[in-house]
Amino acid sequence: MANTRDIRRRIKSVKNTAQITKAMQMVAASKMRKAQQAALAGHPYSEILNRVLVSLRGRVTEGSHPLIEERPVRKSLVLLVTSDKGLCGALNTNVLREATLLDEKTTEFVSSGKKGAAFLVRTGRTMIATFTLSDRPTFLQTKAISKFCLERFLSGDVDRVSVLYPKFVNTMTQKPVLVPLLPISRHEAAGINGGVHENEAQYLFEPDSDEVLNAVLPYYFHFTVFQMILDARASEQSARMVAMKSATDNARNLVKDLTLEYNKARQASITTELLEISTAQMALA
């Protein structure tokens, strides 16, 4: 059994760790609420944008715009969205596990997040660009990423663009998903945010459907990438808060166990001293 001095040191160390994880939990909880509000605020607008796009797709011929033109997939581009920091449980691990399932020979990556970039370098996968965003990314910041991916698709360097990110389900659940965005198919446009059917709304377009489609399609892609990155930020802060809460609870339980062990060791030490005193007194009698 360890002596009481070593146990006291361990108790002090664990208590200090618990204070740190508790502080990180409170910070993550504050950021989580803001990130969740930002992610949820764009959903109504995104649904309306989907409805407009679906209505447009029903009025133009297939292949009338390069962003909806289907072509054989020889090369794919995947935007890999991870966090810059760790301490968020298995969030990044789950996303990176999905990335390992993709064909290395036909897939190139664009990374948003230091964890994803480090993984791509470590595993030798093709990474053509990496971007770093703030904790609360703006549309202009994410547009630099989506514009880079859009240009790769329009130039013919890749035939498909997808986003791999941790989708926010709720505070306890974040699910890694791979969502194809380019070319924009009618099914994908209708189903990204809740399923929109063509007959739900009828719109009049001026000057004509083709002109509006040319303006809406690039913006739709930019906004969808922005919304997915906001979703990933909400997932990151939620996972970090849960991980830090779990760490704090585990530290407190460990302090209880160590305190019990300390009391036992102290009691055993006192009992030994009393026995030694009694034995010495009996020897002198």
Residues sharing a CB contact under 8 Å with residue 229, sequence separation 6 or more, in sequence order? 81, 112, 133, 137, 142, 145, 165
- Distance from CA of residue 239 to its chain's centroid? 8
Whole-angstrom Cα distance, residue 246 to residue 151?
43
Q: What are the CA-CA distances from residue 242 to residues 19, 25, 116 (Å)? A: 16, 8, 21
Backbone angles phi, psi at 19, to 5 degrees: -65, -40
Whole-angstrom Cα distance, residue 190 to residue 54?
6
Whole-angstrom Cα distance, residue 172 to residue 238?
7
CA atoms within 13 A on the CB side of 12: 6
Q: Which residues of 184-217 are buried (b: 16+ CB within 10 A; e: fewer)?
A: beeeebbebbeebeeeeeeeeeeeebeebbeebb
Terminal C-alpha separation, the chain: 34
**Which residue numbers are catalytic?**
88
Whole-angstrom Cα distance, residue 224 to residue 46?
8
